[in-house]
């Protein structure tokens, strides 16, 4: 039985809108989606902008269900009619809980503390926060499609959804499921926005990865869900694979809670692990979608990591950062960038690093700064890194017609 893992459906939300056409018309065109934040006040903040989708229903449930419905429809499935098949699906969702609700909870907690109220438990119902913890997103997604298999949440920051995709891959390869619904969600909220802003990690204007003028990231809305299944399972359903998930790797720097290893050692290990998992050599990679946050430390570290893994080949491989248009979708970013990698394979085009300014003499790879580039792509790598020293790398291959 062919246990290679293919992606047969996907659904995605970005600051540009819902669906893949919004990505094609913005990310592949080098058009960013940064605007002034409207869903909460930034009057006291240094940063005022982000990648905000202008919709009324800004809930995990709304974002999740849209992406699930789109992924199932693209895969030729219906969550009600195909209940028996979806019952076996593993569900893995990257997220850290619904931030707007958490902000309200912690504000109430702070108010109780400063008021000197000793009857703390009477003031705030702790079940409120339990209903909005990261596991809730996975639990609700599983219930929505009728899955009775494993459902799990990954909350390891900005690698969470990439980790979720890798987990789904492993479960299928080990024969524990014939399919998996995997992805992640992040919705802009003051709780997280204020933390990044207080650290002065945010860009003053737009995000400029790998440029000499780069001065930070901008946080964005984002969500993506992907349906994974064995190639044999897809063949039996006569479903056409969009792409193949060839392998993945994960690592930890063991260096600093917020700074990447200066030589990129942790990310290098994740890329090397992904290559081993996929049984590939560095020369097999046609394009790298970089983590590329646009911060001084990340871009330098990631460039060194790529050189460490690919050696002389590093100068021949296009490396671009699509966060230059989408912004940083935190826990959702790995899944959304996996979708971008799939579109690159489908369209045979490499998305550019937008907003590029003055070249940094210490960063000398091919960052695809001239605009979208046509290229014969067979295999792409997508990198994610996170606070806590987390790193994750996914390898995707072009879908093959059966």
So which residues are the catalytic ones?
A: 158, 291, 328
CA pair distance 330, 162, nearest whole angstrom: 11
Give which of 188, 226, 233 is closest to 58, Cα–Cα.
Answer: 188
CA pair distance 6, 25, nearest whole angstrom: 26
Extract the tokens encoding 177: 């499921």
Q: ∠ CA(320), CA(26), CA(137), 5° rounding?
A: 85
Paired strand residues for 243? 7, 398
Tally of helices (H runs) and strands (E runs) in the chain: 14, 15
CA pair distance 384, 21, nearest whole angstrom: 23
Give the pairing type, strands 151-154 and 90-94.
Answer: parallel
CA pair distance 397, 346, nearest whole angstrom: 10
CA pair distance 394, 304, nearest whole angstrom: 18
CA pair distance 18, 12, nearest whole angstrom: 6
CA pair distance 396, 171, nearest whole angstrom: 17
221: left (phi over 0), alpha (psi -120 to 50) or beta: beta
Give the pairing type, strands 5-14 and 222-230.
Answer: antiparallel
Cα 29 to Cα 24, 35, 124, 322, 349: the distances in Å are 7, 18, 48, 11, 11
**Cβ atoms 394, 224 nearer than 8 A:** no
**Cβ atoms 251, 309 nearer than 8 A:** no
CB-CB neighbours of 126 under 10 Å:
11
Phi/psi at 77 (nearest 5 deg)? -120, 160
């Amino acid at each position: 039985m062919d246990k290679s893992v293919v992606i047969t459906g996907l659904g995605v939300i970005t600051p540009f809108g819902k669906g893949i056409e919004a990505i094609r018309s913005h990310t592949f065109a080098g058009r960013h989606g940064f605007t002034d934040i409207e869903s909460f006040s930034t009057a006291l903040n240094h940063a005022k902008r982000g990648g905000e989708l202008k919709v009324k229903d800004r809930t995990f449930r709304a974002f999740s269900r849209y992406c699930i419905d789109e992924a199932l429809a693209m895969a030729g499935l219906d969550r009600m009619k195909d209940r028996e098949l979806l019952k076996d699906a593993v569900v893995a969702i990257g997220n850290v809980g619904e931030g707007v609700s958490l902000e309200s909870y912690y504000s109430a907690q702070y108010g109780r503390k400063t008021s000197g109220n000793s009857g703390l438990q009477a003031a705030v119902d702790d079940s409120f926060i339990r209903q909005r913890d990261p596991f809730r997103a996975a639990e609700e997604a599983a219930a929505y499609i009728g899955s009775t298999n494993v459902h799990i949440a990954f909350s390891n920051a900005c690698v969470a959804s990439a980790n979720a995709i890798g987990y789904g891959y492993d479960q299928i390869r080990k024969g524990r499921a014939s399919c998996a619904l995997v992805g992640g969600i992040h919705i802009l909220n003051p709780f997280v926005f204020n933390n990044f802003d207080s650290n002065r990690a945010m860009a003053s204007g737009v995000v400029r990865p790998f440029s000499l003028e780069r001065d930070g990231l901008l946080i964005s809305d984002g969500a993506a869900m992907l349906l994974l299944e064995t190639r044999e399972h897809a063949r039996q359903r006569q479903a056409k694979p969009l792409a193949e998930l060839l392998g993945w790797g994960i690592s930890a720097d063991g260096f600093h809670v917020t700074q990447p290893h200066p030589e990129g050692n942790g990310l290098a290990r994740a890329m090397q692990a992904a290559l081993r998992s996929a049984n590939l050599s560095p020369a097999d990679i046609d394009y790298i979608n970089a983590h590329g946050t646009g911060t001084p430390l990340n871009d330098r570290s990631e460039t060194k990591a790529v050189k460490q893994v690919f050696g002389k080949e590093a100068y021949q491989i296009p490396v671009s950062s699509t966060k230059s248009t989408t912004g940083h979708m935190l826990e959702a970013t790995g899944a959304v960038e996996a979708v971008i990698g799939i579109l690159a394979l489908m369209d045979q085009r490499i998305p550019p690093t937008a907003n590029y300014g003055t070249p940094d003499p210490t960063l000398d790879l091919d960052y695809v700064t001239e605009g979208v580039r046509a290229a014969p792509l067979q295999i792409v790598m997508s990198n994610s890194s996170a606070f806590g020293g987390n790193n994750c790398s996914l390898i995707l291959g072009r879908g093959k017609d059966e």
